[in-house]
Homo-oligomer: A and B are copies of this chain.
């Protein structure tokens, strides 16, 4: 399968792994990483043999599972099963969208195929089912997945747990299904890939293979899955295949020469694409400029920030989810790369871009995306959109359902994918839907993920600034946690990019009240009350721990001076971790309740009276 894809179909340029006109290849079963590293080395990527010999060692760029951004030519981080499968769907969506946006008849600059080798484990994972259903719905014909149907998983035969009719299942999703009886038959696979290219549906080619093929005593068994072959069996395999036993890493010159033709071939593909791009730019100068900006340079348009709305102070205010919807719609005309949607909660998440169609199979240029009730696939698809190039994707659901897509969020953070996750209904403040829908531990559990920026804005203006941070953060994912309920729009100028800032000082502060999101206006009220009693109070709005930790010592000291240790944090979520900043916390270390928001907040201590009381205790 790999040989056929890499030597007969894949358009790529090993000396320029980021060449935008390339096809993408995904090894969804990332535990086979050495296959990918071998292909990259053989075809001339900057991955010397020493790196292969240094497999899975500290500081090597050949880790146990492929990592995006670490190894040239690795298109996506894989290992957690199903993720490669679903991320590829995001790439195919992006390819289709950019093609619909930029291509002109005779000028098909964007025509990437997304190839993947997928495994039994991938197909068993729910995230792949979700993504496959969506890919079929959207008729993503540029997806060509080869299924390594080897009948073996770690526990043993796939007959132990996986006997569904896979071909029928993919047909039910609307895929083009082909079967290759012998996964070592290059011609049959080649023919199937050619047929896949001409079919308008996504394609899966089910290739019957033998795991550990060539290792005479291990092939076809689960031992070939996770255990090293060992020297003896490796020798037996080499004997069996008529291969030299020494050196252990042996590449015949003619083999290397054959594979390395990919370098020149890639240069030619690039040169041809460049020529076509120049012709396109001459014929369609505006589109050419935009193509250059969005696709080749990946730059934001000059002065885009001017489109960020500001909101006048207003006691009634609005929900931050509503503010987010306004920001999206203010930015959308200036940032055509902004595309996104919701996991079937668009009216609740306020994600719709007005006046643009949905992304559907007959309208790939559409920018409103319907993920369906498929949070996990949404996460992985956003990741694929974020790394293909040319898009700034966002996806939304309720904060509590971040749990469904946590594996995708983590991979985005690990791999520095600039995905934007919008999570509304961010506390018990959502009210009557009750504890199954009320996040409690979620903010902190997301803050725990390294390289993930979590922002919980306090009002409409902080929401606008939070979007600015998210759009400018191109080296990792961003979470926006937004309210269902209305919040006052505050008077003070917001300063989200600092993570925390002094919202107001009442006299000379003896105590600091800090809060995020919906609790900021609560502590402001409490502070006013304390000030009325002659107390000195500082109110700190604290929308993001991660952004605050990035500030220098002097700034952090200016906001939270060491000499004021009487500090109370207020957040409608788990208290854990606020100890870093505060001496005392009003939070929620239990599940929520089904009741009107006002009642819940009162019962759980989120009242001006309680904040005042806890402050006085300090």
Inter-chain contacts of A406 with B (CB < 8 A): 403-404, 406
Residue interface bits A149-172, CB-to-B below 8 A is 1, else 0: 000011100001111111111011
Contacts known (A172-B172, A436-B79); A591 close to B56, Cβ less than 8 A: no
Q: Give the docked Cα–Cα distance between A168 and B172 (Å).
A: 5
A435 contacts the other chain (CB 8 A): yes
A529 contacts the other chain (CB 8 A): no
Inter-chain contacts of A154 with B (CB < 8 A): 344-348
Q: Give the docked Cα–Cα distance between A129 and B576 (Å).
A: 35
CB distance from A226 to the nearest CB of B (A): 8
30 contacts between A and B (CB under 8 A): A58-B595, A58-B600, A64-B434, A64-B437, A79-B436, A79-B437, A80-B404, A81-B373, A124-B133, A124-B373, A125-B130, A125-B375, A126-B127, A126-B128, A126-B377, A154-B348, A155-B342, A160-B360, A161-B371, A161-B374, A165-B173, A168-B168, A172-B172, A226-B347, A403-B410, A414-B436, A441-B448, A445-B448, A448-B576, A579-B580
Q: Give the docked Cα–Cα distance between A164 and B202 (Å).
A: 13
A482 contacts the other chain (CB 8 A): no
Inter-chain contacts of A78 with B (CB < 8 A): 436
Contact residues of A between 348 and 374, Cβ < 8 Å to B: 348, 358, 360, 370-374
What interface size band does chain A fall in? Answer: 35 or more
Inter-chain contacts of A401 with B (CB < 8 A): 80, 407
When the two chains form their complex, are residues B347 and A63 in contact, meaning their CB atoms are under 8 A apart? Answer: no
When the two chains form their complex, are residues B124 and A374 in contact, meaning their CB atoms are under 8 A apart? Answer: yes
When the two chains form their complex, are residues A161 and B436 in contact, meaning their CB atoms are under 8 A apart? Answer: no
Contacts known (A377-B126, A407-B403); A161 close to B372, Cβ less than 8 A: yes
CB distance from A436 to the nearest CB of B (A): 4
Most buried by B among A80, A345, A413, A436: A436
Inter-chain contacts of A129 with B (CB < 8 A): 126, 129-130
Q: Give the docked Cα–Cα distance between A580 and B448 (Å).
A: 16
Contacts known (A433-B64, A580-B579); A450 close to B445, Cβ less than 8 A: no
Contacts known (A407-B404, A434-B64); A160 close to B358, Cβ less than 8 A: yes
CB distance from A91 to the nearest CB of B (A): 19
Inter-chain contacts of A155 with B (CB < 8 A): 342, 344-347, 370
Residue interface bits A54-84, CB-to-B below 8 A is 1, else 0: 0011111001110100000000011111000
Most buried by B among A124, A346, A370, A373: A373
Identical copies in the complex? 2
When the two chains form their complex, are residues A373 and B594 in contact, meaning their CB atoms are under 8 A apart? Answer: no
Q: Give the docked Cα–Cα distance between A172 and B60 (Å).
A: 44
Q: Give the docked Cα–Cα distance between A358 and B157 (Å).
A: 13
A574 contacts the other chain (CB 8 A): yes
CB-nearest residue of chain B relative to A437?
B79
When the two chains form their complex, are residues A373 and B67 in contact, meaning their CB atoms are under 8 A apart? Answer: no
A593 contacts the other chain (CB 8 A): yes
CB-nearest residue of chain B relative to A440?
B450
CB-nearest residue of chain B relative to A80?
B436
A603 contacts the other chain (CB 8 A): yes
Q: Give the docked Cα–Cα distance between A112 and B78 (Å).
A: 42
When the two chains form their complex, are residues B169 and A594 in contact, meaning their CB atoms are under 8 A apart? Answer: no
A137 contacts the other chain (CB 8 A): yes
Cβ 8 A contact of A58, one of B173, B407, B437, B603: B603
Cβ 8 A contact of A153, one of B58, B373, B376: B373
Q: Give the docked Cα–Cα distance between A376 and B406 (Å).
A: 12
Inter-chain contacts of A496 with B (CB < 8 A): none
